[in-house]
Amino acid sequence: MERVKGLGELERSIMDILWAQSTALTAREVGRLIADRDLAPTTVMTVLDRLTRKGFLHRTRDGRAWRYAPAATRDAYVAELMLEALDMTGDRSAALTRFAQAVSGPEAEILRRALTELEDE
């Protein structure tokens, strides 16, 4: 994922399914796991192909089918979204300060720890 590109509702649903798995899935397997929708197999394949082109998925050949796996973790995706949001502001310092004021005590402690670890490197 060089730059995060937006995910549509169906793309997010499919990414959620793939992020929850420990192994790569075929389009048919993904289609079975989308319980709340009655999607044509071609629709699932089209969305998987689009996500692959966008850089969200890697695919490998498994006989006649493709297996799809996330190119990055959900955490990495969310971090990229946060960085892009910072890029939208004219004042990153103000945005970061406002963010720090809005996080909970435990979240602030996680941020402190992460920053300390980075300084120690």
Mean pLDDT of all residues in 44-69: 96
Mean pLDDT of all residues in 55-69: 96
Phi, psi values for residue 5, rounded to 5°? -105, 150
Phi, psi values for residue 58, rounded to 5°? -110, 145
Beta-bridge partners for 25: 68
The full set of domain ranges for the chain reads 9-70, 74-120
- Is 80 exceeded by the pLDDT of residue 4? no
- Is 80 exceeded by the pLDDT of residue 5? no
Better pLDDT: 72 or 40 = 72
Mean pLDDT of all residues in 17-43: 90
What is the value of pTM for the model shown? 0.80
- Is 90 exceeded by the pLDDT of residue 7? no
57 half-sphere exposure, CB direction, 13 A CA radius:
29
Q: Which option is the CATH number for 9-70: 3.40.50.720, 1.10.10.10, 3.40.50.300, 2.40.37.10?
A: 1.10.10.10
**How sure is the predictor about 26, in pLDDT bands with cuts at 50, 70 and 90?**
very high
